[in-house]
Amino acid sequence: MSETSLSALSSESRRFDPPAGLAAAANVTADAYKHAAEDRSGFWAEQAGRLTWERPWDTVLDWQPPFATWFGGGRLNVSVNCLDRHVEAGLGDRVAYHWVGEPQEDRRTITYAELLAEVSKAAHALTELGVEAGDRVCIYLPMIPEAAIAMLACARIGAAHSVVFGGFSAQALIDRITDADAKLVITSDGGYRRGAPSALKPAVDEAVAQCPSVQNVLVVRRTGQDVAWGAKDLWWHDLVDHQPSTHSPEAFDAEQPLFLLYTSGTTGKPKGILHTSGGYLTQVAWTHWAVFDLKPETDVYWCTADVGWVTGHSYTVYGPLANAATSVLYEGTPDAGGKDRWWSIVEEFKVSILYTAPTAIRTFMKWGDELPRGRDLSSLRVLGSVGEPINPEAWMWYREVIGGGRCPIVDTWWQTETGAMMIAPLPGVTSCKPGSAMGPLPGISVDVVDHDGHGVGETGGGYLTLDEPWPAMLRGIWNDEQRFRDTYWSKFAGRYFAGDGAKWDENHVLWLLGRVDDVMNISGHRISTTEVESALVSHPSVAEAAVVGAADDTTGQAIVAFVTLTAAATAQDVGEPLLKDLRDHVAKEIGPIAKPKQIVIAPELPKTRSGKIMRRLLVDIAERRELGDVTTLADPTVVSAINDTMGAAVDGR
């Protein structure tokens, strides 16, 4: 983020107080901050008390940096907390999910009692397939109810799930299945994307052929399209539907692994972030209730995130279900069946809490005010944002056009690694500044530090660190303790380094400034520059590649790749076909989400004398709009400009 935009942000003087009615009836008041500050572990123990434990914990926290045990000795079953206890409390008829398929009129309403029955059947099915507590199950599904059912069934029998976003390629699936040593893959024939069935199973077939750990593939029939059938394949409806609809669950240790979720780091290899049970569920349940001021009896909540990302885990599945909330689950894209599809869903289900990403908000801004204004959005009362910094303009538009000027906006900062929200306002307490996540939640401690790890004080910018453990924190990187220590705990001894820049403004309000490492944030999704570079250089025509995230009005950042070609490729006539081929190659290696928006063929890459690619210079070039649609760097003036700047940077001129 440039200095100008930074100072523009910090001088933001508008503030929006909580609506009086909401504040008067808010779930959480300002006392929570004081109470948590006085007794952090007591505060979290109180929140853990919101859950049902088969055996109470002996100790709230055992902290042996960087390893934490939360609620040690406690035993619980996560799926019981999300389902059985609500049904036992008489809430069996409450809707857990209003599922909306992409095709119009495709609807399924699932009550808590029905969800419990489905999860019970699936749990029996997994057991029949030999899945046991401690095993890993890979889930590769579209946004259909079976995604949540599969996750909860794993949780019910103590197996860890590893959900892989449906937009990832066969190769990405292979890497994740292999790293996790997954025994079972749960997938579907396909899903609906932009009006047409798109296949998922072929990628699984390709992966399973290379992953000997996989014993079975359980396939949900969603689209009815033709699928190839192998010896390990089983239809979900054949195996699951006839199972008993009741299931006696076992309680597991609070630290039983609940899931792995792979996320990009600064190397080419994704990290399997490990989350466990008791602490994770405590924090997602409490934050979901506190930050959205959830009233489960009356609210209809909609988190638009796909279950393939952490937001989908924590705030589409575990948080809302632990709180007995009624949620909307939508399969499709925002423009499927019309660019006002989302607003028609809000109108139809009277959604009262909406949680989405700045990229989506900026896209809707571009599509114009008429679409949301044409729908009745008066049911909305709290709006949430997540995944990337939200610019004040988008924040104001969200507030005015979607929220009708009456809904507080909660901008929530957190990560796959943190498991749950960490920095966010409380809608009944905080007076919000447009574009700021405001400050750490009760029970969370944040410190912004300089290069040497010294706190910057009440005002000032630096690196965001978390200096106290929190219940939903990652417990490690799967199979890679050293990387866990190196990535998060080594830069600043004893504290968690988030990889983000942050700044306290003159009112001690916190502004998140984006990543400070080589991780890009594309539409709120993390993609590492190295991963895309590795994909590009694995193409036979590419000699070298440098990838940067360049500012983009809609997606926050866009992937721009600079490549040099091999002599053989250079000798041929390059051009559109090669560029398309390179993009497709990246889609094949990683997934369509990692396709570069622009590929620049350069005669050489700007490097320092020690051979390090000068990314900052490339970001400058990528963001200098005069390059426009020109996709080659043949223009010698651009090349010499690069060289000049390079010389200046190296020589310190």
Give the shortest CB-394-to-ligand PRX separation in angstroms: 12
Contact with ligand PRX (CB under 6 A): which of 18, 312, 384, 387? 387
Q: Is 388 in the site for ligand PRX (CB under 6 A)?
A: yes
Distance in angstroms (rounded) separating the CA atoms of residues 346 and 359: 18
Q: 622 near 647, Cβ under 8 Å? A: no
Q: Is 434 in the site for ligand PRX (CB under 6 A)?
A: no
Site stretch for ligand PRX (CB under 6 A), options 335-343, 383-391, 580-588, 593-601: 383-391
Q: Is 282 in the site for ligand PRX (CB under 6 A)?
A: no
Q: Is 412 in the site for ligand PRX (CB under 6 A)?
A: yes
Residue partners of 190: CB distance under 8 A and separation at least 6: 142, 197, 198, 199, 200, 201, 222, 223, 225
Among candidates 293, 361, 400, which has minimal Cα distance to 14? Answer: 400
Among candidates 414, 359, 369, 404, which has minimal Cα distance to 383? Answer: 404
- Stretch 593-632 residues interacting with ligand PRX (CB under 6 A): none
Q: Is 500 in the site for ligand PRX (CB under 6 A)?
A: yes
Give the shortest CB-137-to-ligand PRX separation in angstroms: 21
- Stretch 529-588 residues interacting with ligand PRX (CB under 6 A): none
Give the shortest CB-84-to-ligand PRX separation in angstroms: 28
For residues 106 to 145, the per-residue mask of contacts with ligand PRX, x marking binding by CB under 6 A and - elsewhere, is ----------------------------------------
Of residues 422 and 565, the one with the C-beta less far from ligand PRX = 422
Q: Is 512 in the site for ligand PRX (CB under 6 A)?
A: yes
583: enclosing H helix or E strand: helix 576-589
- DSSP assignment of 562-579 equals EEEE-HHHHHS--SHHHH
Q: 275 near 258, Cβ under 8 Å? A: yes
Distance in angstroms (rounded) separating the CA atoms of residues 525 and 621: 23
Site stretch for ligand PRX (CB under 6 A), options 408-416, 452-460, 598-606, 607-615: 408-416
Ramachandran region, residue 411 (left: φ > 0; alpha: ψ -120 to 50; beta: rest)? beta
Tell me the number of residues near ligand PRX by CB under 6 A.
23
Q: Is 310 in the site for ligand PRX (CB under 6 A)?
A: yes
Q: Is 526 in the site for ligand PRX (CB under 6 A)?
A: yes
Contact with ligand PRX (CB under 6 A): which of 332, 389, 428, 435? 389
| 214: helix, strand or coil | coil
Distance in angstroms (rounded) separating the CA atoms of residues 3 and 110: 50
Among candidates 382, 306, 301, which has minimal Cα distance to 349? Answer: 301
- As a residue count, the chain comes to 653
Q: Is 284 in the site for ligand PRX (CB under 6 A)?
A: no
- Stretch 247-266 residues interacting with ligand PRX (CB under 6 A): 263
Give the shortest CB-505-to-ligand PRX separation in angstroms: 15
Contact with ligand PRX (CB under 6 A): which of 416, 528, 530, 564? 416
Q: Is 386 in the site for ligand PRX (CB under 6 A)?
A: yes
For residues 66 to 95, the per-residue mask of contacts with ligand PRX, x marking binding by CB under 6 A and - elsewhere, is ------------------------------
Of residues 153 and 386, the one with the C-beta less far from ligand PRX = 386
Q: Is 311 in the site for ligand PRX (CB under 6 A)?
A: yes
Q: Is 515 in the site for ligand PRX (CB under 6 A)?
A: yes
Contact with ligand PRX (CB under 6 A): which of 102, 233, 411, 518? 411
Residue partners of 292: CB distance under 8 A and separation at least 6: 299, 301, 353, 355, 382, 384, 410, 427
Q: 178 near 211, Cβ under 8 Å? A: yes
Distance in angstroms (rounded) separating the CA atoms of residues 82 and 52: 10
Contact with ligand PRX (CB under 6 A): which of 142, 166, 249, 499? 499
Give the shortest CB-417-to-ligand PRX separation in angstroms: 7
Site stretch for ligand PRX (CB under 6 A), options 61-69, 165-173, 295-303, 409-417: 409-417
By CB atoms closer than 10 A (0-12, 13-18, 19+), residue 129 is middle
Q: Is 414 in the site for ligand PRX (CB under 6 A)?
A: yes
Q: How many CA atoms lie within 13 A of 530 on its CB side?
A: 10
Give the shortest CB-287-to-ligand PRX separation in angstroms: 11
Site stretch for ligand PRX (CB under 6 A), options 22-30, 81-89, 204-212, 492-500: 492-500
Of residues 95 and 361, the one with the C-beta less far from ligand PRX = 361
Q: Is 448 in the site for ligand PRX (CB under 6 A)?
A: no
Q: Is 415 in the site for ligand PRX (CB under 6 A)?
A: yes
Q: Is 413 in the site for ligand PRX (CB under 6 A)?
A: yes
By CB atoms closer than 10 A (0-12, 13-18, 19+), residue 619 is middle
| 428-432 contacts, C-beta under 8 A, 24 or more apart | 428/18, 428/22, 428/23, 428/25, 428/26, 428/27, 428/28, 428/29, 428/293, 429/18, 429/23, 429/26, 429/28, 429/29, 429/30, 430/18, 431/15, 431/16, 431/17, 431/18, 432/15, 432/16, 432/408
Q: How far is CA 358 from CA 262, 330, 362, 365, in A?
A: 22, 18, 6, 10
Give the nearest residue (CB) to ligand PRX: 416
Site stretch for ligand PRX (CB under 6 A), options 175-183, 249-257, 296-304, 411-419: 411-419
Alpha carbon 281 to its chain centroid, in Å, reads: 17
Among candidates 270, 251, 248, 273, which has minimal Cα distance to 260? Answer: 273
Residue partners of 360: CB distance under 8 A and separation at least 6: 304, 334
Positions that interact with ligand PRX (CB under 6 A):
263, 310-311, 386-389, 411-416, 437, 498-500, 512, 514-515, 521, 524, 526
